[in-house]
């Protein structure tokens, strides 16, 4: 089981979450209720690149006309209140993963973070899900 002990002595689950999960929750996408249920009481982790991925996702929504700036700024405020512990990941290992699994570096960072922490990855991204499995990382199905 993936867990750690909190100050109260109660074991809590540890998940690495990716950008797709954060965006789905912030903009009230289809899987929001399921994701919030899965992550309630769980210690959340991500590579430090998560911030840039969230910003990039919002900018893509601007370009597609899916989100206005005031909505994005409100969502960013909500994002900043989510307790996610950000981690540096090894760039060399991440580049090897990106090469071996034919991934973008941003995706490899999430797999490397999950490997580093020995925690499962929670993602809505089918490509990342498949690659994580290939890399031997446990995944949380949504």
pLDDT tens digits for 81-104?
999 999 999 999 999 999 999 999
pLDDT at 141: 83
Query: In the predicted model, is pLDDT for residue 4 greater than 60?
Result: no
More confident residue, 12 or 18: 18
d(CA 91, CA 37): 32
Contacts of 135 (CB under 8 A, 6+ apart): 97, 100, 101, 111, 115
**Beta bridge mates, 5:** 11
Domain 3-140 has CATH 2.40.160.40: no
Q: Which of 139, 126, 57, 47 is nearest to 94 (CA)?
A: 47
Query: In the predicted model, is pLDDT for residue 57 greater than 50?
Result: yes
Model confidence, pTM = 0.89
Interval 131-141: pLDDT, tens: 999 999 999 98
Is residue 54 within a helix (H) or strand (E), and if so which, with residue range? helix 50-63
């Amino acid at each position: 089981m993936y867990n750690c002990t909190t100050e109260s002595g109660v074991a809590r689950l540890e998940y690495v979450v990716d950008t797709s999960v954060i965006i789905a929750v912030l903009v009230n996408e289809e899987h929001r209720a399921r994701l919030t249920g899965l992550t309630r009481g769980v210690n959340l982790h991500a590579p430090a690149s998560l911030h840039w991925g969230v910003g990039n996702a919002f900018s893509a929504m601007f370009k597609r006309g899916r989100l206005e700036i005031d909505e994005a700024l409100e969502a960013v405020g909500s994002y900043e209140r989510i307790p996610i512990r950000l981690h540096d990941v090894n760039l060399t290992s991440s580049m090897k993963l990106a090469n071996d699994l034919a991934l973008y570096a941003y995706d490899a960072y999430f797999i490397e973070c999950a490997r580093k922490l020995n925690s499962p990855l929670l993602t809505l991204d089918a490509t990342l899900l498949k690659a994580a499995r290939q890399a031997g990382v446990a995944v949380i199905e949504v």
